[in-house]
Amino acid sequence: MSELMVVTGAAGFLGSHLCDALLARGYEVLALDDFSTGTPSNLAHLDQHPGFRLLRHDITEPLPPQADGASGIFNLACPASPLHYQRRPVQTVLASTIGLNNVLETARRANARVLQASTSEVYGDPLVHPQSERYFGNVNPLGPRACYDEGKRCAEALCLAYRRQYGLQVRIARIFNSYGPRLLPGDGRVVSNFISQAIAGQPLTVYGSGEQTRSFCFVEDTIDGLVRLMLSEVEQPLNIGATDEHTMLELAQIVLKLTGSNSPLVRQPLPVDDPRRRRPDIGNARRLLGWTPRVSLNEGLRRTIRHFRQTLRTPALES
Ligand code: UDP
For residue 52, is it within any domain? yes
Mode of pairing for the β-strands spanning 213-215 and 245-247 = antiparallel
Regarding whether 47 and 195 lie in a shared domain, the answer is no
How far apart, in whole angstroms, are the C-alpha atoms of residue 214 and residue 211?
10
Helix (H) or strand (E) holding 154: helix 146-166
Regarding whether 133 and 259 lie in a shared domain, the answer is no
Q: How many domains does the chain have?
A: 2
Closest by CA to 157, choosing from 116, 125, 105, 103, is 116
Regarding whether 225 and 81 lie in a shared domain, the answer is yes
For residue 319, is it within any domain? no
Angle CA 303–308–311, to nearest 5? 130
State in Å: Cα 210 to ligand 1 middle.
Answer: 9
- What pLDDT, in 10s, does the model give residues 100-143? 999 999 999 999 999 999 999 999 999 999 999 999 999 999 99
DSSP state of 210: S
For residue 87, is it within any domain? yes
Regarding whether 154 and 91 lie in a shared domain, the answer is yes
Question: Residue 192 belongs to what domain range?
Answer: 179-214+244-278+295-312
For residue 318, is it within any domain? no
For residue 317, is it within any domain? no
- What pLDDT, in 10s, does the model give residues 234-292? 999 999 999 999 999 999 999 999 999 999 999 999 999 999 999 999 999 999 999 99
Task: Give the model's confidence band at 1: pLDDT under 50 very low, under 70 low, under 90 confident, else very high.
Answer: low
Regarding whether 55 and 167 lie in a shared domain, the answer is yes
Regarding whether 203 and 85 lie in a shared domain, the answer is no
Regarding whether 148 and 183 lie in a shared domain, the answer is no
Regarding whether 228 and 89 lie in a shared domain, the answer is yes
Asked whether the CA dihedral 141, 144, 145, 149 is positive or negative, the reply is: positive
Q: Is 148 a catalytic residue?
A: yes
Q: Is the peptide bond before 269 cis (omega within 30 degrees of 0)?
A: no
CATH number of the domain enclosing 205 = 3.90.25.10
Predicted model pTM: 0.97
Could you tell me if the CB of 135 is within 6 A of ligand 1? no
Encode burial over 279-312: b for 16+ CB neighbours within 10 A, e otherwise.
bbbbebbeeebebebebebeebbebbbeebbeee
Task: Single out the catalytic residue among 85, 123, 148, 162.
Answer: 148
- What pLDDT, in 10s, does the model give residues 89-101? 999 999 999 999 9
CATH number of the domain enclosing 60 = 3.40.50.720
Which of 207, 217, 254, 255 most suits a substitution to test ligand 1, by most atoms within 8 Å of the C-beta? 207
Could you tell me if the CB of 207 is within 6 A of ligand 1? yes
Regarding whether 99 and 10 lie in a shared domain, the answer is yes
